[in-house]
Amino acid sequence: MIIKFEPMSKDTVELIQPPRVAAGCIPEWYKNAPLHMDGEKQDSLSKETTATSNLTMKGCSPFLDALTHGYMYELPFDIEFRRDKFGKLGIRWATGIDLISGHTPEQHEGLAKPYDGHDGVLKWKFTYRIITPPGYSCLFTHPLNRNDLPFRTLSGIIETDTYPGVIEFPFQLLDNFDENIYIMEKGTPLCQIIPFKRDNWEGKKLEYNELSLAKAHFDLKSKIVRSYKTQWWKKKSFS
């Protein structure tokens, strides 16, 4: 399948990069995290229990899949957060390109603010049109597993196979800046874009099956290390 990113202005063509594959945006804290618990260097069972291996989150395929799934829109240039003497937070940047707009309070009345966050809602401007094949939409969401970012991008779904317009990404700032001046660097991930096929689903409750559950548990524990990845995981490809 092909997803297309169509620039909507001359500045976009010359200055703003389109979203890139999320696999190219793995954070340094993940890269630097240990693979094994307790400083161990070899795959094995945990020292404390036989219920799990000694791998950390870095050995968890579902966690990494979430980090690397789809595409990522990144901050196109540095922006500065500056707190004045009254504690009010301002946002500035040097390029002169329009990047952030706002929602009026009436547009998000009742929306809860994030922990340690502001209740106001701003929007990342995104000057690309996204085009997916017929029957495919896109989920736009905060970069998955990225609790380190000083904002929370709100989630939304757009029928990108038919919607002709530009999309903006609402977000709420967190108030967790230790310094009065903080610079968010160019390349910071702002929004993860995950294309998916629209289907009709019907939920169905099954009967309890003790034998099936016992077999599933046995199969899971039959491999000490990377059981899920070696037995059930499927490769996803984005380029």
The answer as to CATH 2.40.128 being correct for domain 4-20+71-197 is: no
Q: Is the pLDDT of residue 86 over 90?
A: no
Q: What percent of the chain has pLDDT over 70?
A: 100
pLDDT at 112: 82
pTM, 2 dp: 0.92
Domain edges within the chain: 4-20+71-197
What CA–CA distance (Å, rounded) separates 208 from 83? 57
Predicted confidence (pLDDT) per residue in 9-65, tens digit: 888 998 999 999 999 999 999 999 999 999 999 999 999 899 899 999 999 999 999
The position carrying tokens 């001046």 is 181
**CA–CA distance from 105 to each of 57, 109, 111, 114 (Å)?**
39, 6, 10, 16
In tens, the pLDDT along 123-134 reads 999 999 999 999
